Copies of this chain bind each other. A is one copy, B any other.
Amino acid sequence: MSERTIEEFKAEREKLNEIVMKYGGINIKRFYGLDSQVYREGALPSKTKELLGLVASLVLRCDDCIKYHIIRCYEEGLTSEELEEALTIGLVVGGSITIPHLRRAFQAWDELQEGGKAQRETET
Q: Given A22-B106, A25-B84, do A96 and B12 touch, yes or no (CB 8 Å)?
A: no
Chain B residues contacting A58 (CB-CB under 8 Å) are 56
Q: Given A65-B100, A94-B56, do A27 and B23 touch, yes or no (CB 8 Å)?
A: no
Contact B23 A110 (CB under 8 A): yes
Contact of A81 among B20, B43, B90, B97 (CB under 8 A): B43
A44 interface contact, C-beta 8 A = yes
CA distance A53 to B86 in the complex (A): 9
A118 interface contact, C-beta 8 A = no
Given contacts A64-B100, A92-B96, A95-B95, 15 further A-B contacts (CB under 8 A): A20-B106, A23-B109, A25-B81, A25-B88, A28-B91, A30-B34, A38-B92, A43-B85, A44-B51, A59-B95, A91-B95, A93-B95, A93-B97, A94-B94, A95-B97
Counting contact residues on chain A (CB < 8 A from B), the size range is 35 or more
Q: Given A56-B94, A59-B60, A61-B62, do A39 and B89 touch, yes or no (CB 8 Å)?
A: yes
CA distance A27 to B23 in the complex (A): 24
Contact B65 A96 (CB under 8 A): yes
A116 interface contact, C-beta 8 A = no
